[in-house]
Structure formats: C-alpha cells, structure tokens
Amino acid sequence: MRIFAISIVLASALTLTGCSHPSRIKQLGTGDQVQLTSERETDNRMSDWNLTSSDAELYIGDLGAEQLYASAYASNQIKSLAAENKKQALLPNGFPLIQAFPSPGIVPKKGGYVENVIETAKSYLGTPYVYGSDRLDPQSFDCSDFTRWVYLTALGMDLPWDAKNQAAYVEALSKRKYTDLKQAKRGDLLFFTNFMGNRPSDYANLDPSQKPISHMGIYLGDGKIIHSASKKTGGVRIDHMFFKHLQYRFVLGGSVLD
C-alpha cells in the first residue's frame, strides 16, 4: 500500500509540472537522440561571471589575429594581383574576395552539406584555444581558425582567415544573411562583437563603430553554437546563446552554402 501511495503522489507531481507528456527525446528517433546528446551545452563556464569578467581573451576575441600570419609581402603581392582586375572586390585585409564552393567529390551527409560541417565541427570538441593559432595546424584554434578549418576539411571550402574577413565574405556573397539571431539555421556562421559584460545593457545603444566583429562560431540549431572562445572556457565547446551575452553580442549571421 505504501508503494502504491508513493506512485500516486509521483504521478500527480509529474502531471502538475507538465512532465506527464512524453519528453522531446522520447519523441525522436534513435539517430536524433544521439544528436541531441552530443550537442548538449558543454558546461556553464561561458556564463560564469567570475570567470568571464577576468578572461582577457573573451574581451579581445580574434581582433588583430590576421597580422600574425599575413606577411606584408604576401598581402601586397595579392593586392597587386587583384588591382590588375578592376572588377575584383577585396576583403578588408586586402585579399581578393573569392567565393568558395563544396568540392564536387564530397558526398552530402543526411541529404545536405550542413551535416558534413556539423559532424566535423563536433569532432574537434575540446581542442585547445590559442589566439592567432597556426592556420595550417588543427592542434589548436582561435574562433575564426576553427570555423575556417571546419569548412575546409569538411567540404574543401577555403574561407578567409579571421572573423572580420569571414563576416565581410558573408556580407558580400551570402544569399541568406541576417541581423536577427532568430533567423539562424543549422550550419550558419554567426558573428559577434567584443565581450563587454553579461548584461543586455552592456551592449545597448552602441553604434556600429563600437561593435567590431571579433568572435564567431557555427550554429547548431536549438539555440546552440559550437565555437572556440578562450583558454579559460576550454577551447572548442558548445553553448546556449539566448538570454546570455552571446545573444547580446550578436552582429551578423549567414550561410556560405545557400
């Protein structure tokens, strides 16, 4: 009788809290369950003010990182080549704006290239963060090195080498770009300004000149992003964005596949 009474109490509690309905995971197929599990938020470090407030790498992002690997000689040489063609558009760093496409021999997974990108991105979870990381070595990443390497290895698409220039690429060439985070779709590139705090008011009333793009990541859907933010937050990780500083910092998003 005691067990029966306990069962009734538990059933009543579940009904009152709305848990009597099947959970989202139970409603999904086996493959989707695995996907949900593997795309859960890594931990709460990106929301921990005690950590983020003293994390210098969050404040700077990848601003200036391109200066570490683009020599003056290479930059000037490419600028000269581009100048020969007056119709050639240039990225902010002076490199030619050249659209990249998936390599013809790559087979889309689950019916779309987006899943090639997501699977590759998740394979690098936990990879250490290094500001200005070596663009030819996947042993470490900063935010833009991570996104570039994912698209390069997943689809053979060679995107620009830093967040500011990848944003310019999306602005110029994407058929689907937006400034409302709610329009984001799985596999999109998302761009953010400098970290300045955890509150919406920290980013309110800023004009565009006060919101340089310094961070980026890949949208997973369901309000989550995979990105590489800093050493203290653990390198490549998954985070929820809404009602957190990533939402308040959002500047631009778009697809490089549509």
Catalytic residue among 21, 227, 240, 245: 227
Catalytic residue among 21, 143, 240, 245: 143
Active site (annotated) includes residue 227:
yes
Active site (annotated) includes residue 240:
no
> What single string gives the DSSP state of each residue in 3-26?
HHHHHHHHHHHHHHTTTTSPPHHH
Active site (annotated) includes residue 19:
no
- Report d(CA 243, CA 258) in Å as an integer: 28
Decide: 69 and 161 in contact? Cβ < 8 Å: yes
Catalytic residue among 19, 215, 240, 245: 215
- Report d(CA 90, CA 165) in Å as an integer: 10
Residue 100 tokens, joined:
């990249």
> What single string gives the DSSP state of each residue in the chain?
-HHHHHHHHHHHHHHHTTTTSPPHHHHS-HHHHHHHHHTS---SGGG-HHHHTT-HHHHHTTTTGGGGT--HHHHHHHHHHHHTSTT--B-TTS-B-------TTPPPBTTBHHHHHHHHHHTTTTPPB-TT--TT-TTSB-HHHHHHHHHHHHH-----SSHHHHHHHHHHH-SSEES-GGG--TT-EEEEE----SSGGGTTT--GGG--EEEEEEEEETTEEEEE--TTTTSEEEEE-TTSHHHHHEEEEE-S--
Active-site residues, by number, are: 143, 215, 227
